[in-house]
């Protein structure tokens, strides 16, 4: 797919959903079969490498559950191979004001135990995720719904277990009332890592027991129980599934703890491909092409890596210092030499796969220009003393940070550039929260809507705010707010891009590169398909 | 001997509580908030954080947390990790893996170590030097180098052994077990060699020869038997090391043992898991040490404990 065409088509789809108040009918997802669809003829079983999930029920656990959840559960909507939003379990998702959304689900779909999937199943699932004491990881994403605060008081126990903003209209329809208009609602509920999944009656009595063998509404059902965290998760095709039938009949998700071992097993052919979040070790990226030749896919996802600055620190408060450091970084060489050409140089904070695309908002400040960088630093008053680059140890970021440190030494003439590692991610986060001592390596993996990274990292008080050096800008906040109220997707995209432009104007962070999902696969598979959120399990085919 | 054993066991109780306290304090002192790190890249609402902190008593002062933990422990409740999974169950599923690995390694250490040591001692200078050369080379190679080498050469390239995982039963443990055993194997060989050499010169050996016994019989029945005492004590102590020191091997070969659990849980500040696993490891060390001390008395009647 070309980048450009996918952008346009997403825009059209979102446009259709939010502006026309039209019923978005399920298009290609269910009944028709696309080219190359030989579902009935094929079968067989495959294995996928994964890191240990903490839960299998979608919305409950960490991101390592993504592929398993996608196998067991069908979402209301998802992204297709061209990153267009397509409806799956939903018949239509409509609104007239971006605030009250009516979700109609397809009739006749069943859970793996035969129970019918109804509007009530969805409301039960979403309420479970929204109930604070359940402590589901997706809880926060439901804060946009009315009544969320009653289930999540900052002190004391919640007074109710049901969101007042969710209403069952009839067995096939429910209505969602948001706190404020949100043009990004449909994009936000698409895919396998949301809180928008149904729960069967059997789940509600004992969630912990249910989680060992979730009864979902998806293309695969559990094949046995998942008793121990290190056990493989085995699933088999669900015969009565009404959506696109998967092309393999069984999947074994093998659990690994080391990315290096995943790599070795892929080389040996003892596992067929690596899952969405079973990332290959970054130290191996330079050799992936030679080890797997054609059997590698570099799939664009939403993941931007940047160099953050302690904005409150006097040494970095001059924007020209930050821009000089950014221009001293040779992004092309880093991505081609260290990451084997599998990652792409960043041109802004929005990743290329973002809906509406990623305009080149960083401009010349993301281009390698040692002469300009040096001149800019000189104008800003030069540099004296050491510079400490902070990062997390043991995650393979040393090589590229060494490269950045060398660039700064050579191109800016700062002799004493040191790498300072935090031993764990937890400690790193608290170090950044307390205030970094120098430029720090970090990034944001998120959702296809531009609102995700903008509100998640670049707004005051947002969860990722420490990782942007506590950047905030009232101008940007108001642009994002206007984008949420936008009635057409062109308008929304334009406003989001203006918000990004504002960020790049203030230059709180230096975008470095965009991470792609790197899939290495066994030669008994056809090239696996993936979208902006990861693997498309129902498209995996044996040769 | 009975009173000695009881006295040692009572000492162990104190050591155990001391050690759990130290480990608990160490985990507690790690910087950062484990709950906030729990959701990884995704944001978490204050109410979720609060309910988790309350559930795991993270708002209590340190000594209260420790007392709560010990209280539960004495009632047989090892608690759960932050995802709500039982620590006892996780350890239950992982201990067999580590024990299998350690026993496999112990077997290699014993068989190869004793055989190589004996051969080195009786087969003359050239053989002795060759074995010395190889055992020193192996001792000086870091174990993860051997592990990756073995995995790539014998697993990926030659396809003789499974590359990783435990899906193929005892076959899965052979390669990792052998690599884990290499260091100890070389030590056992050195111990046995010097001990055999010493015993070959002993009076009773000459007597045995004088009786007209064959060389082989003298070696196996008399010399080796007496030469094994240091090797046996070494092996017994090493068992504890093999269990606790398998973290690297378990990682490389993706064996879901306690080493991996310990490593991951320490990084995630999963206090309950770390203390549970580490304390059990300490117990095993203490017990194998006691066993070795008692074994001395059995193997060599001259040593007594009263």
- Decide if pLDDT at B265 tops 70: yes
CA–CA gap between residue A411 and residue A407 (Å, rounded): 6
- Give the model confidence (pLDDT) of A142-189 as tens digits: 999 999 999 988 877 888 999 999 999 999 999 999 999 999 999 999
pLDDT bucket at B93, cuts 50 / 70 / 90: confident
**Is A132 within 8 Å of B47 when comparing Cβ atoms?**
yes
CA–CA gap between residue A270 and residue B182 (Å, rounded): 26
Mean pLDDT of chain A: 89
Contact between residue A137 and residue A60 where contact means Cβ atoms under 8 Å apart:
yes
Contact between residue A109 and residue A242 where contact means Cβ atoms under 8 Å apart:
yes
Nearest to B254 among A257, A429, A430 (CB): A257
Residue ranges of A 255-294 with Cβ closer than 8 A to chain B: 255-258, 260-261, 264-265, 267-268, 270
- Decide if pLDDT at A28 tops 50: no
Q: Does the predicted TM-score (pTM) go above 0.90?
A: no
Contact between residue A440 and residue A307 where contact means Cβ atoms under 8 Å apart:
yes
Q: Report the Cα–Cα distance between both ends of chain A, in Å, rounded.
A: 22
pLDDT bucket at B39, cuts 50 / 70 / 90: low
Return the number of other C-beta atoms located less than 10 Å from residue A430's C-beta: 18
Looking at residue A168, what is its pLDDT?
A: 97
Residue among A60, A264, A304 with most chain B CBs within 10 A, to mutate: A264
Looking at residue B221, what is its pLDDT?
A: 82
CA–CA gap between residue A214 and residue A192 (Å, rounded): 15
Question: What is the distance in angstroms between the Cα of B52 and the nearest Cα belonging to chain A?
Answer: 7
- Decide if pLDDT at A17 tops 70: no
Residue B140 burial by Cβ neighbours in a 10 Å radius (0-12, 13-18, 19+): exposed
A157 touches B: beta carbon within 8 Å: no
- Decide if pLDDT at B3 tops 60: yes
A143: closest chain B residue by CA: B45
Least confident of A89-98, A121-130, A194-203, B116-125: B116-125
DSSP B23-51: HHHHHHHSSS-HHHHHTTTS---HHHHHH
**Is A133 within 8 Å of B159 when comparing Cβ atoms?**
no
Residue A36 burial by Cβ neighbours in a 10 Å radius (0-12, 13-18, 19+): exposed
Looking at residue A469, what is its pLDDT?
A: 94
Residue ranges of A 434-453 with Cβ closer than 8 A to chain B: 444-446
CA–CA gap between residue A533 and residue A85 (Å, rounded): 12
Contact between residue A366 and residue A514 where contact means Cβ atoms under 8 Å apart:
no
- Decide if pLDDT at A309 tops 60: yes
Four-point Cα dihedral A257, A263, A269, A272, nearest 10: 70
- Give the model confidence (pLDDT) of A327-377 as tens digits: 999 999 999 999 999 999 999 999 988 988 888 999 999 999 999 999 999
Of A456, A504, A496, A457, the C-alpha closest to A479 is A496
Question: What is the distance in angstroms between the Cα of B163 and the nearest Cα belonging to chain A?
Answer: 6
**Is A265 within 8 Å of B93 when comparing Cβ atoms?**
no
Residue with tokens 């950045």: A404
The pLDDT > 70 percentage for chain A reads 92
**Is B41 within 8 Å of A267 when comparing Cβ atoms?**
no
- Decide if pLDDT at B47 tops 80: no
Reported residue count of chain A is 543
Rank A523-527, B156-160, B219-223, B270-274 by mean pLDDT and report only the highest: A523-527
Least confident of A232-241, A498-507, B31-40, B174-183: B31-40
CA–CA gap between residue B117 and residue B230 (Å, rounded): 12
Sheet holding A166-170: strands in order across?
Answer: A90-95, A100-105, A173-177, A166-170
- Across the A:B interface, residue pairs with CB atoms under 8 Å apart total 141
CA–CA gap between residue B176 and residue B173 (Å, rounded): 6
Looking at residue B276, what is its pLDDT?
A: 87
Structure tokens that stand for B190 in this block: 């050195």
User: Which residues in chain B are contacts of A424 at CB distance < 8 A?
Assistant: 30, 32, 37, 267, 269
Rounded to 5°, angle at Cα A176 from A172 and A181? 145
Reported residue count of chain B is 306
Taking residues A275-303, what's their average pLDDT? 92
**Is A228 within 8 Å of B256 when comparing Cβ atoms?**
yes
User: Which residues in chain A are contacts of B94 at CB distance < 8 A?
Assistant: 228, 230
DSSP A83-128: S-EEESSEEEEEESSSSEEEEEE-TT-B-TTSPBP-HHHHHHHHHH
Structure tokens that stand for A290 in this block: 């030679």
Question: What is the distance in angstroms between the Cα of B3 and the nearest Cα belonging to chain A?
Answer: 42
Backbone CA torsion sign across A289, A295, A299, A303: negative
**Is A152 within 8 Å of B34 when comparing Cβ atoms?**
no
Nearest to A267 among B83, B89, B156 (CB): B156
Residue among A426, A464, A515 with most chain B CBs within 10 A, to mutate: A426
pLDDT bucket at A406, cuts 50 / 70 / 90: very high
DSSP state of A132: G
Nearest to B43 among A425, A431, A456 (CB): A456
Rounded to 5°, angle at Cα B62 from B56 and B67? 75
Taking residues A421-447, what's their average pLDDT? 88
CA–CA gap between residue A220 and residue A239 (Å, rounded): 8
**Is B32 within 8 Å of A254 when comparing Cβ atoms?**
no
Taking residues B115-122, what's their average pLDDT? 90
CA–CA gap between residue A201 and residue B249 (Å, rounded): 44
Looking at residue A73, what is its pLDDT?
A: 97
Kindly provide the b/e burial profile for residues A448-466, where b requires at least 16 CB atoms within 10 angstroms of the residue's own CB: bbbbbbbbbbbbeebbbbb
Least confident of A64-78, A159-173, B278-292: B278-292
Contact between residue A504 and residue A361 where contact means Cβ atoms under 8 Å apart:
yes
More confident residue, A451 or B58: A451
More confident residue, B75 or A532: A532
Taking residues A19-38, what's their average pLDDT? 37
B38: closest chain A residue by CA: A62
Four-point Cα dihedral A466, A472, A478, A479, nearest 10: -80
CA–CA gap between residue B164 and residue B253 (Å, rounded): 4
Structure tokens that stand for A6 in this block: 């996918």
Question: What is the distance in angstroms between the Cα of A536 and the nearest Cα belonging to chain B?
Answer: 22
Kindly provide the b/e burial profile for residues A86-113, where b requires at least 16 CB atoms within 10 angstroms of the residue's own CB: bbbbbbbbbbeebbbbbbbbbeebebbe
Looking at residue A33, what is its pLDDT?
A: 35
Looking at residue B304, what is its pLDDT?
A: 67
User: Which residues in chain A are contacts of B33 at CB distance < 8 A?
Assistant: 426, 429-430
- Decide if pLDDT at A325 tops 80: yes
H/E element, A301? strand A296-308
- Decide if pLDDT at A534 tops 70: yes
pLDDT bucket at B58, cuts 50 / 70 / 90: confident
> Rg (Cα) of chain A, in Å, rounded?
23
Of A462, A458, A461, the C-alpha closest to A502 is A458
Nearest to A137 among B42, B51, B90 (CB): B42
B254: closest chain A residue by CA: A256
Question: What is the distance in angstroms between the Cα of B79 and the nearest Cα belonging to chain A?
Answer: 15
Looking at residue A16, what is its pLDDT?
A: 40
């Amino acid at each position: 797919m070309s980048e450009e065409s996918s952008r346009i088509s997403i825009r059209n789809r979102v446009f259709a959903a939010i502006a026309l108040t039209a019923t978005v009918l399920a298009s290609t997802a269910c009944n028709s079969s696309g080219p190359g669809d030989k579902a009935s003829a094929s079968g067989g079983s495959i294995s996928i490498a994964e890191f240990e999930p903490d839960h299998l029920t979608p919305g409950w656990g960490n991101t390592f559950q993504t592929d398993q959840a996608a196998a067991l559960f069908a979402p209301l909507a998802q992204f297709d191979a061209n990153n267009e939003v397509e409806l799956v379990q939903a018949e239509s998702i409509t609104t007239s004001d971006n605030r009250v959304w009516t979700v109609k689900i397809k009739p006749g779909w069943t859970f793996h135990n035969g129970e019918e999937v109804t509007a009530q199943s969805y409301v039960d699932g979403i309420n479970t995720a929204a109930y604070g004491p359940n402590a589901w990881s997706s809880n926060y994403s439901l804060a946009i719904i009315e009544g969320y605060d009653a289930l999540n008081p900052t002190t004391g126990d919640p007074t109710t277990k049901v969101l007042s903003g969710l209403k069952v209209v009839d067995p096939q329809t429910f209505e969602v009332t948001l706190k404020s208009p949100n043009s990004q609602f449909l994009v936000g509920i698409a895919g396998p890592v949301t809180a928008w999944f149904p729960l069967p009656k059997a789940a509600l009595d004992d969630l912990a027991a249910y989680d060992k063998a979730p009864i979902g509404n998806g293309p695969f059902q559990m094949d046995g129980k998942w008793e121990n965290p290190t056990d493989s998760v085995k699933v088999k095709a669900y015969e009565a599934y009404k959506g696109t039938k998967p092309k393999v009949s069984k999947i074994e998700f093998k659990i690994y703890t080391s990315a290096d071992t995943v790599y070795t097993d892929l080389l040996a052919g003892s596992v067929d491909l690596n899952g969405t979040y079973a990332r290959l070790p970054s130290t191996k990226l330079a050799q992936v092409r030679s080890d797997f030749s054609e059997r590698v896919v570099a799939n664009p996802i939403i993941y931007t890596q940047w160099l953050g600055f302690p904005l409150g620190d006097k040494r970095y408060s001059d924007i020209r210092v930050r821009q000089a450091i950014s221009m001293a970084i040779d992004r092309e060489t880093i991505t081609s030499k260290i990451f084997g050409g599998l990652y792409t140089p960043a041109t802004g904070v929005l990743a290329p796969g973002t809906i509406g695309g990623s305009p080149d908002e960083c401009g010349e400040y993301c281009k390698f220009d040692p002469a300009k960088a040096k001149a800019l630093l000189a104008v800003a008053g030069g540099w004296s003393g050491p510079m400490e680059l902070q990062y997390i140890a043991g995650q393979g970021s040393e090589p590229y940070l060494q490269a950045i440190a060398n660039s700064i030494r050579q191109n800016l003439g700062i002799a004493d550039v040191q790498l300072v590692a935090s031993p764990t991610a937890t400690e790193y986060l608290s170090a950044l929260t307390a205030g970094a001592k120098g430029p720090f390596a970090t990034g944001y993996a998120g959702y296809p809507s531009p609102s995700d990274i903008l509100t998640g990292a670049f707004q005051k008080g947002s969860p990722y705010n420490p990782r942007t050096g506590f950047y905030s800008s009232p101008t940007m906040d108001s642009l994002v707010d206007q984008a949420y109220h936008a009635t057409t997707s062109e308008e929304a995209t334009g406003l989001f891009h203006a918000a990004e432009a504002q960020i790049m104007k203030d230059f709180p962070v230096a975008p470095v590169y965009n991470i792609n999902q790197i899939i290495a696969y066994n030669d008994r598979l056809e090239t696996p398909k993936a979208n902006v959120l990861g693997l498309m399990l129902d498209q995996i085919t044996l040769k | 001997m009975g009173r000695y054993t009881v006295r040692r066991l009572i000492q162990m109780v104190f050591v155990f509580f001391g050690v759990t306290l130290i480990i608990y304090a160490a985990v507690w002192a790690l910087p950062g908030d484990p709950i906030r790190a729990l959701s990884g890249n995704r944001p978490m609402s204050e109410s979720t954080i609060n309910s988790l902190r309350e559930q795991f008593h993270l708002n209590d002062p340190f000594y209260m947390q420790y007392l709560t933990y010990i209280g539960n422990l004495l009632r047989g409740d090892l608690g759960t990790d932050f995802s709500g999974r039982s620590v006892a169950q996780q350890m239950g599923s992982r201990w067999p893996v580590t024990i299998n690995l350690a026993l496999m390694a112990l077997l290699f250490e014993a068989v190869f170590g004793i055989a190589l040591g004996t051969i080195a001692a009786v087969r003359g200078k050239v053989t002795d030097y060759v074995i010395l050369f190889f055992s020193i080379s192996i001792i000086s190679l870091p174990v993860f180098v051997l592990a990756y080498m073995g995995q790539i050469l014998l697993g990926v390239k030659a396809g003789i052994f499974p590359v990783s995982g435990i899906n193929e039963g005892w076959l899965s443990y052979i390669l990792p077990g052998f690599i884990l055993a290499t260091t100890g194997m070389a030590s056992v060989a050195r111990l046995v060699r010097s001990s055999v050499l010493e015993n070959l010169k002993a009076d009773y050996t000459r007597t045995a020869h004088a009786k007209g016994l064959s060389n082989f019989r003298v070696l196996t029945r008399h010399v080796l038997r007496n030469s094994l005492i240091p090797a046996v004590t070494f092996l017994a102590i090493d068992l504890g090391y093999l269990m606790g020191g398998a973290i690297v091997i378990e990682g490389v070969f993706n064996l879901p043992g306690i080493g991996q659990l310990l490593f991951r849980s320490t990084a995630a500040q999963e206090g309950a898991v770390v203390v549970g696993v580490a304390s059990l490891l300490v117990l095993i060390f203490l017990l194998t040490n006691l066993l070795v001390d008692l074994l001395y008395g059995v193997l060599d009647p001259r040593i007594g404990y009263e």
